Amino acid sequence: MAGIGAPSSSSPSGGGRGPAQPPKGPAPLARSSPGGGGGRSSVASIFSSAAASSSSSSSSGAGSYGRRGPEPPPRPRRPSPSAAPARGRPPSAAPPPPGLARRPLASAVTAAMNEEYDVIVLGTGLTECILSGIMSVNGKKVLHMDRNAYYGGESASITPLEDLYKRFQLPGAIPESMGRGRDWNVDLIPKFLMACGQLVKMLLYTEVTRYLDFKVIEGSFVYKGGKIYKVPSTEAEALASSLMGLFEKRRFRKFLVYVANFDENDARTFEGVDPKKTTMRDVYKKFDLGQDVIDFTGHALALYRTDEYLDQPCQETINRIKLYSESLARYGKSPYLYPLYGLGELPQGFARLSAIYGGTYMLNKPIEEIVVENGKVVGVKSEGEIARCKQLICDPSYVSDRVKKVGKVIRVICILNHPIKNTNDANSCQIIIPQNQVNRKSDIYVCMISSAHNVAAQGKYIAIVSTTVETNEPDKEIKPAMDLLEPIEQKFVSVSDLFSPTDLGRESQIFISRTYDATTHFETTCDDIKDIYKRMMGSEFDFEEMKRKKNDIYGEDEQQ
């Protein structure tokens, strides 16, 4: 278990700690081992041995692999006296900080609704909660409301299990084999965090990591020819892998070494490639990579959903492969992290951040009207009262007249009593089924977690299949993924519309997030957050702006 960005060791465990030390910069991923981090791509290095085994001349410049120490030990839970209780946690959890309330007293609600705010946020999805936290840290006066009685919106983790059955309107009682309902925290949107990705940076800079613990996902797999293969993470796995042949490994290694050395600010590393003009298709041709290797690279490493990237400038793809490699180098098993107790912990962590900086939260608050005057938002009406604001952030469900449908996504939550076959009995993994392997236009994804992550009863596994809908029979589209999971104890199927804003907020000052897509990572979500920030603030997003300010109280008893 990895606690990323653990606070300074001067903080005692338990509730009576003193004021926190102000951060001096983003904390590193907790005790990451010597082999992880900077330098050459670890993906390149794991193929170096495979290539070198047939030719000693090919071993130069590959870097070394496997020098990392063991996975970091868990950091102790340090409950803050001001931390809001997380869903699924014991009921003895401490009360929320000032401003963070599930259903305030009527007098407090009236007082809050009669004020004017810089920003009102509607919906407590991850995008909205991160933006709420950023705005609060930047000194904005924020009111955050949600019509639901729980945090997370469409990105919530549902607990107890009985609530999941009710949500999907499944008849009958829950089988006794499912264990206690309160042991379950089931994500509605399946995603993992890239260990070096944008969301982890946001967690580190804001120190929201103090509210969360993470585990490394045990493996990443790719589908080829009806079977799944582990994406190699060590030299031994690369040598033994039948994902590609020996000569393909040598060519692939040369490509990865090129990617590792590539520096967009140093033309000497381009080797005749113009990163802003040369297409990725031409780069693959330069290294004579076959179609299976292209599928593996573009979809399992660069994490593209479709092949549209092939005819676009190569710089973005190269940077994506670098991100995968650097994330893999953190812990070695895979590039992905997952929070204990489910993804619903993430929006709650940023909600705490906003509340500590004065943000006011109201759950279970019906929204009657977004008040607009002369084309610009001026407030939100709820239960007959109007809270006034200068800017508004919301998810698409609050402004159906300002969004357009851009597609559909199918997600199937599957409860299993066994790990997925051919994954070495991993208690967590990701499987990517590239589009070309199943004659589709977009990839199919499988995310699997288990009781090891405090999201399921003992001995149970949760596998979630997702993909963009392409036909009128979405159930048939996901059959290749569902076949990998058999036998399935119970499944919960949803088909959701994908929405994109038609109003970018430049005049109305209403800023609308995008629906969560089918990808199994948060990079596209973070891109949306940065885009909304730029439109709201008129400047590029800067991670430095997310740092907690010096002498902030962090929700502790005293100020530093």
How confident is residue 246, by pLDDT bands cut at 50, 70 and 90? confident
pLDDT band at residue 548 using 50, 70 and 90 as cut-offs: low
Tokens 């499912």, located at residue = 178
Give the CA distances from residue 273 to residues 78, 267, 313, 320, 369, in Å, rounded to whole numbers and listed in that order: 51, 9, 10, 17, 53
Q: Which of 30, 127, 108, 138 is nearest to 354 (CA)?
A: 138
Residue 234: its pLDDT value, please?
57
Task: Say if residue 51's pLDDT is above 50.
Answer: no
* SS3 state at 358: coil
Band the pLDDT of 236: cuts 50, 70, 90: low
Q: Whole-model pTM? A: 0.80
Indicate the range of 16-20, 207-211, 236-240 predicted with least confidence: 16-20
More confident call, 6 vs 237: 237
Tell me how far apart the alpha carbons of residues 32 and 270 are, in angstroms, rounded to a whole number. 31
- Residue 544's pLDDT band, with cuts at 50, 70 and 90, is confident
Number of H helices, E strands in the chain: 14, 20
Dist. CA 4–CA 7, nearest whole Å? 9
Asked if residue 53 has pLDDT above 80, the reply is no
Q: What SS3 state is found at 394?
A: strand
What's the pLDDT band for 233 if we cut at 50, 70, 90? Answer: low
Does residue 90 surpass a pLDDT of 70?
A: no
DSSP string, 97-137: PTTEESS--HHHHHHHHTSEEEEEEE--SHHHHHHHHHHHH
Average pLDDT of the segment spanning 458-473: 97
Higher pLDDT pick, 246 / 93: 246
Percent of the chain with pLDDT over 90: 65
pLDDT band with cut points at 50, 70 and 90 for residue 552: low
CA atoms within 13 A on the CB side of 488: 20
Q: Is the pLDDT of residue 555 over 60?
A: no
Average pLDDT rounded to a whole number, residues 207-216: 93
